[in-house]
Amino acid sequence: MRVAVHQGPLGDLPRIDADLVVTAEMITTGYHIGARTHELAEPADGPTAARMSALARQFGTALAYGYPETDGEHVYNSVQLVDATGRRLANYRKTHLFGDLDKAWFTPGDEAVVQADLGGLRVGLLICYDVEFPELVRAHALAGTELLVVPTALMSPYEIVADTLVPARAYESQLFVAYANRCDTERELTYCGRSCVVAPTGEVLARAGSGPEVIAADVTRDALAASRLENTHLADRRPELYRGTTA
């Protein structure tokens, strides 16, 4: 599978030669938008979903995009995955909310592992702060996720997350990670870019800078299997020792 990350505004999304294009957290509306979050929130099958499905069909590629989702009285920070025909495959609601930026406007999701099969791989979804919790990434690995898709809105001065933590997550849980950041400015926040596609070996296959950019890399089950044979973290786990240590 050819995986691409679009680090830039949705309106500048080009036609990309890839099987899957991953965009940033809240790409459809902006992230740090205060009360407008609730004004702009839509159901998972709303007009924005229809527009993004049409875009996937137009480009002939699967698409993962972040948006504010409304469901009854609740608003969630969500990411939706659609395939190249525009069919909705999976929808994930951010479970770990970051400070007042998230907690003031969103309800936390309550489903840790959301997955879909795409292009012969099991794709899992997380959002931004979620990936900073090793338990959550490991849960994905144990549930069979092979490619973890992470739209984010990482701001300066937290570049360490993109540069150090994301490759570490890929290596310790033995899966591919596609991490898609913003690179704009909203109010007092400056998003740092540094999007990446990382192999389960920890190797950074593609890395963006601080401005608008498209990066891409090939993600294969064979490469994942080879890495897991050499780096046996999952096989060598001793879960009987960990009981009661995660609360």
Q: Determine the Cα–Cα distance for residues 15 and 18; give it in Å rounded to an integer.
A: 9
Asked if 103 is an active-site residue, the reply is no
> Are 5 and 178 contacting, i.e. CB atoms less than 8 angstroms apart?
yes
Q: Which of 25, 42, 69, 132 is catalytic?
A: 25
Q: Determine the Cα–Cα distance for residues 152 and 33; give it in Å rounded to an integer.
A: 15
Q: Determine the Cα–Cα distance for residues 121 and 21; give it in Å rounded to an integer.
A: 15
Please enumerate in sequence order all residues whose Cβ is within 8 A of that of 61, keeping only pairs 6 or more positions apart, or say none.
4, 16, 18, 19, 20, 21, 84
Asked if 25 is an active-site residue, the reply is yes
Sheet hosting strand 2-7, strand order edge to edge: 88-93, 74-82, 62-71, 20-22, 2-7, 213-218
Q: Which of 42, 69, 94, 192 is catalytic?
A: 94
Pinpoint the alpha helices (H) of 41-196: 47-59, 99-103, 134-142, 159-160, 166-173
Q: Which long-range contacts (CB under 8 A, 24 or more apart) does 222-227 make?
A: 223/199, 224/146, 224/174, 224/175, 224/176, 224/200, 227/174, 227/199, 227/200, 227/201
Q: Which of 42, 128, 146, 183 is catalytic?
A: 128
- Residues forming the active site: 25, 94, 128
